[in-house]
Structure 1
Amino acid sequence: MSEHRPWLANYPEEIPANLAYKSEPVQTYLTNAAKEFPNKSAIHFMGKEMSYETLNDHACKLASYLQKLGLEKGDRVAMMLPNCPQAVITYYGILLAGGVVVPTNPLYTEREIEYQMKDSGAKAIVTLDILFPRVSKVFTQTNLEHIIVTAIKDYLPFPKNLIYPFIQKKQYGITVTVKHEGCHHLLTEIIKQSNKELKSFSVDFEEDLAIIQYTGGTTGAPKGVMLTHKNLVSNASMSNAWLYKCKRGEETILAIIPFFHVYGMTAVMILSVMQGQKMVLLPKFDPEQTLKTIEKQRPTLFPGAPTIYIGLLNHPDLSKYDLSSIDSCISGSAPLPVEVQEKFEEITGGKLVEGYGLTESSPVTHSNFLWDRPRIKGSIGVPWPDTDSVILSFETGEPLPPGEIGEIAVKGPQVMKGYWNKPEETDQVLRDGWLLTGDLGYMNDEGYFFVVDRKKDMIIAGGFNIYPREIEEVMYEHPSVQEVVVAGVPDPYRGETVKAYIVLKESASATEEELNAFARKHLAAYKVPRMYEFRSELPKTAVGKILRRALVEEEKRKRDDKQEKQA
């Protein structure tokens, strides 16, 4: 479809247009790193280091235990953890056992956990003690047979490991005690075992799944994106080629982007292990803690999202911290404002560029160059090695010439196998190996791509993809709600924020506080509407379809009018 690839003329000589990939599964790279860098620090977590040898040892013990529990090749195991050593151990442990990882957001409510466990058919889940009650409540409604529990304190240094339980109780108001018996298992007990023997199994590099990564959709229910070992290895290899000035075994990566998000998993965790780098893990983004960590741990690579960089730049004590160690940052998940990019580079002395991708492409397909090439403002950059991209006409589906706006389509070894158990949805976005992104954009004469609009209805708030239909379905369950439509409205910090437009049933009543409390019971915090507007009716088409875009345009006009008055 795309024979003309003008972007290749812009490639520095250090970046090859095509890469060679070893047909080795993802877990092989941990085994190799443990042999090549046995005593090198793989992980730094809250003041404690873990070597590659220890990381591999713990992952192998978990893998052996999972096989003893009856895990067969291809069985799914969920991982519901923040960025902590246990997340890395669990991820590679599942793969070493022959399983398929199902990353699960720790913020998910019982409703969301139940759906994902049912849809994936996960046989086991590894989660935190404070999340155990939530998982337990849906356990019998799913295919889950085992819950493996760990605690943040388990991998903290002394005396933090003694103090943390008191902090946790104060913060969450609960103390959870789980016994290592029956279908409940403690990771600490698993790691104590000496047996690391693993049953052998073969891996089809191109066809076998490594993960099922869930993503939302305009149809409401999240879809499981099937990513193979080749998908993940190829995308991490592309990332390594793009970062050609980075030295193997010598870089330190700041791991704030969550590993349950495909960007954090591929561009941080897999890449780090593949190249023998050190990961500095932060379980959540706290601006002050992040600044302290950067100054003390001196990371050189800092993958992130715009809201993270904005949060740091707006910290009142920013000038007190030394951020000069940062050399390279690729921003993903949402558009990167130019002013943020320029200010961050001025403060750190490093490079911050915007990239582009989707869960369905493992995730990165495009990025700006970090070095040796001029920056193109507002561009998502050019396709990565082995990656093709075109702009397609919405009317004809044919490629458009430079400068014309259409749908961005991508093709490459990182493009997903399809959606889990959803062949019709797969056929809608995959055509002859091409992934139709649903994003509007154009390419200039030099091969740089620009996104002019996001997917029709998706909201991107704080780097999270939020899908209105899912929120609407929850709100419709409230007894007082007759009609609801959810849309993204501009927000100076989050990029967009969630707003719900509500029509109440006749004679019914509900306050904003009541609806907010209801939403929080059924949705992860980042999906809960931040704004509510009660209306007597909603704009509709002649056939009764609610016009979401009309409300978005209305909000835009309000903002423009307000800015004009202020000017």
Structure 2
Amino acid sequence: MSVYDDRPWLAHYGEHQPAELVPQFPHALAMFEATVRRDPGGDAIRYFDGRLSFAELAALSDAFAVGLLERGFTPGERVALYLQNVPQYVIGLLGTWKAGGIAVNVNPMNRERELELLLRDSGATVLLTLEGLHRDVAAAVVGDTAVRTVLTTSELEYQTRGDARVFAGVERTGAADGAVDLAELLAAHRGQAPPPVSFTPGDTAVLTYTSGTTGPPKGAMNTHGNIVFNSQCYRHLCELGPDDVVLGVAPVFHITGLIGHVTVALLLGAPLVLTYRFEPSLVVDVIRAERPTFTVGAITVFIALLNAPNADRAAFASLRKIWSGGAPIPRSTIAAFEELTGTYIHNIYGLTETTSPSHGVPAHARAPVDEHSGAVSIGVPVSGTVARIVGDDGTELSPGEIGEVVISGPQVVEGYWNKPDETARAIPGGALHTGDVGYMDAEGWFYLVDRKKDQINASGYKVWPREVEDVLYEHPAVREAAVVGVPDDYRGETIKAFVSLRSGERVTEEELIAFARQRLAAYKIPRRVEFLDEIPKTVSGKLLRRELRERHATG
């Protein structure tokens, strides 16, 4: 019998979770429609001093859908959302669904080449973007794609505060030639409703592109069923309800922001607090003002908040439900954040292909820490999910044995957009092979070791970067650390650390190496340390070790 058949993690969860998570809605739009009926006057979005109720959000997204349909949009077509964390993202997402379409999430940091690649790959016929992004990026590439309609909007809409920390230099310009102003389109169709749509759980709702850390981005087909299931997983794992207030610190175009902020708020009927971009001191002020209760984001977000000049315990008094995913959590950071705020950071784990969480630490639990490596557990599988550890030959491994994490469950996507070969390779038989290496302990808690491709081979010794990074994080001067293997004539590979320091702190390369020498075996000690202002990361907080290796190679 498989060691996983007894599901030991259910002891941490409660025995009746899977039944409670039977999908209540046939598609993601139905979650929102139920909330509008239940609480039409409640705040749906808080954007600085602006407010949109659920009824207003319903009217605006209706108008968006009607405007698309009048311009020849047909069900199944794609709408690219090239936006920051602004209310227009939610309007566009819901409006796309109401028109029978598929939303395409686009990173607003993408430049011409990257944007054109995603527009071409998705075949998007509509682009909704900010005026500045259209002027500086999109205008140069949309003519060579399938895009027929360009809608532009301003980040200054839906608020009047205009905080200089994020809006400095931003001005409303209106739609450029060839584009349609979103505000004008919504006003023209206000009060109109599109014809009803009917989705199945298996219909694609959003194309969310992978971060491209292992190759060209691929469009994961997150279905309506995936979104409904994992929105409910967040609700249950994090013990959320309509009285909660969701703080949107993760980018909404990323799977964590989409599910952990936008769709869970639509499901709960909870206000979603958006701040355009993440600026630590501004976010601290917003937390003071809006009193959010829940958020989820990369650990780099909480490191930044911890070091914000206006951060103190009083500011974080309301924020009692915090989860972090996307990158390893150093236990020293968890401890420092709890010391400042009084709130424990729970771990959560998932991928674009699992539509956000596959594992998490339940609300009233604390993650165990591996006594040998110091790794903090990523949690237990969320309800209805089977996670296995497999060896290189595909056989299932016993507790304590290290192998690849393989995930099956209602949140796993059916595949990648127009990439059947990539789908067959990564998700054979519906089981996602994550590329993450880890193990499960005897009580069902899961731990990550590292990515397969990031293992360092120094003089024949295998070194996982995570273990070295966790030690460096223990030094009081270190803000962030990333470790890679670099070529070495003698060892084949040797260990190099890239480090950014806390504000006002100083430490030398020799001092950090000596610090590591006291805590690690000789073959795990970094031989080189390079100091950077910022460690390169994806928007989800994953370390871009590839860029660090390239930086070393180019001197």
Same fold (TM over 0.5): yes
Contact 2:313/2:340 (<8 A) preserved? no
One of 423, 429, 436 as aligned partner of 1:432: 429
Q: Partner amino acid for 1:256?
A: V
Contact 1:352/1:370 (<8 A) preserved? no
One of 439, 446, 451 as aligned partner of 2:448: 451
One of 377, 389, 392 as aligned partner of 1:391: 389
Partner residue in 1 for 2:110: 108
1:358-377 pair list within 5 angstroms: 358-371=351-364, 373-377=365-369
Partners of 1:127 and 1:16 lie apart in 2 by: 39
| TM-score relative to the length of structure 1 | 0.79
Partners of 2:479 and 2:355 lie apart in 1 by: 27
Partner residue in 2 for 1:442: 439
1:16 to partner: Cα distance? 4.5
Partners of 2:509 and 2:415 lie apart in 1 by: 41
Deviations 1:524-556 (A, max 9, x none): xxxxxxxxxxxxxx779xxxxxxxx966x4315
1:317 to partner: Cα distance? 3.4
What SS does the corresponding residue of 2:315 show, helix, strand or coil? Answer: coil
What SS does the corresponding residue of 2:297 show, helix, strand or coil? Answer: coil
1:30 to partner: Cα distance? 1.9
Q: Partner amino acid for 1:290?
A: V
With over 3 angstroms needed to count, the CA separation of the structure-2 counterparts of 1:497 and 1:141, relative to structure 1, is farther
Percent identity, aligned pairs only, is 32
What SS does the corresponding residue of 1:285 show, helix, strand or coil? Answer: coil
1:28-47 pair list within 5 angstroms: 28-47=30-49
Q: Does 1:382 align with 2:380?
A: yes
1:494 to partner: Cα distance? 4.6
1:219 to partner: Cα distance? 5.6
Name stretches of at least 5 consecutive residues in structure 1 with no aligned partner. 459-489, 502-537, 541-548
1:73 to partner: Cα distance? 1.2
1:236-255 pair list within 5 angstroms: 236-244=231-239, 246-247=240-241, 249-255=242-248
Contact 1:429/1:436 (<8 A) preserved? yes
Contact 2:155/2:276 (<8 A) preserved? no
What SS does the corresponding residue of 1:409 show, helix, strand or coil? Answer: strand
Partner residue in 1 for 2:200: 204
Deviations 1:125-166 (A, max 9, x none): 100011112111001111111110000122113xx36x98x9
With over 3 angstroms needed to count, the CA separation of the structure-2 counterparts of 1:297 and 1:550, relative to structure 1, is farther
1:561 to partner: Cα distance? 6.5
Partners of 1:557 and 1:303 lie apart in 2 by: 26
Q: Does 1:334 align with 2:327?
A: yes
With over 3 angstroms needed to count, the CA separation of the structure-2 counterparts of 1:9 and 1:426, relative to structure 1, is same
RMSD: 2.8
1:564 to partner: Cα distance? 3.8
One of 73, 83, 91 as aligned partner of 2:85: 83
Name stretches of at least 5 consecutive residues in structure 2 with no aligned partner. 370-375, 456-471, 500-507, 519-555
Partners of 1:451 and 1:171 lie apart in 2 by: 43
What SS does the corresponding residue of 2:421 show, helix, strand or coil? Answer: helix
Partners of 1:445 and 1:354 lie apart in 2 by: 19
Aligned length: 477
Partner residue in 2 for 1:288: 281
| TM-score relative to the length of structure 2 | 0.80
Contact 2:166/2:277 (<8 A) preserved? no
Partners of 1:107 and 1:82 lie apart in 2 by: 9
One of 301, 310, 316 as aligned partner of 1:323: 316
Partners of 1:15 and 1:387 lie apart in 2 by: 11
1:457 to partner: Cα distance? 5.0
1:352 to partner: Cα distance? 1.6
1:337-352 pair list within 5 angstroms: 337-352=330-345
Partners of 1:455 and 1:142 lie apart in 2 by: 36
1:93-492 pair list within 5 angstroms: 93-133=95-135, 134-157=137-160, 160=161, 171=169, 176-178=173-175, 183-193=178-188, 194-205=190-201, 207-217=202-212, 220-244=215-239, 246-247=240-241, 249-319=242-312, 321-371=314-364, 373-377=365-369, 378-394=376-392, 396-456=393-453, 492=478
Partners of 2:67 and 2:172 lie apart in 1 by: 26
1:351 to partner: Cα distance? 3.4
With over 3 angstroms needed to count, the CA separation of the structure-2 counterparts of 1:455 and 1:189, relative to structure 1, is farther
Partners of 1:101 and 1:456 lie apart in 2 by: 32
1:167 to partner: Cα distance? 8.7
Partners of 2:368 and 2:492 lie apart in 1 by: 32
1:318 to partner: Cα distance? 2.1
